[in-house]
Amino acid sequence: MVPELKLHGKNKPAVLRSDGDSKVIVITKFKLTKGYEVWKKAFDSNEAMRLQRGVRVLAVGHENGNENNVYTVVEMNSVEDKRLEDPVMIKSREEAGVDHASLEIIPLVE
């Protein structure tokens, strides 16, 4: 199941670059079913795809003491770049152990 995205606040992008290009900062939170090492290996292997789509990873990690609660922070052109409904991405996330029922996407706005 894909969560519904709701933007709050002034709905302006969280980042406005000096070149005038606006970007969105997105925090993603989810639970893992196969462990952090399995997920991290799959995540790292997708670097080329993220670069191709203009997604820049700012931070990634898990809660202290609980490797199955993972957070990512990325910069992208739009929330749609998360490819939430793309069957290939859904399958990739499932294979990496992402529990889609727990997936939360939080776009930051100012």
- Residue 61 corresponds to which tokens in the numbers above? 């990690």
Mapped onto helix, strand or coil, the DSSP state of residue 26 is strand
| pLDDT, position 49 | 84
Domains of the chain: 15-108 (3.30.70.100)
| pLDDT, position 19 | 55
Low-confidence ranges of the chain (pLDDT < 50): 1-10, 16, 18
pLDDT in tens, 32-47: 999 999 999 999 998 9
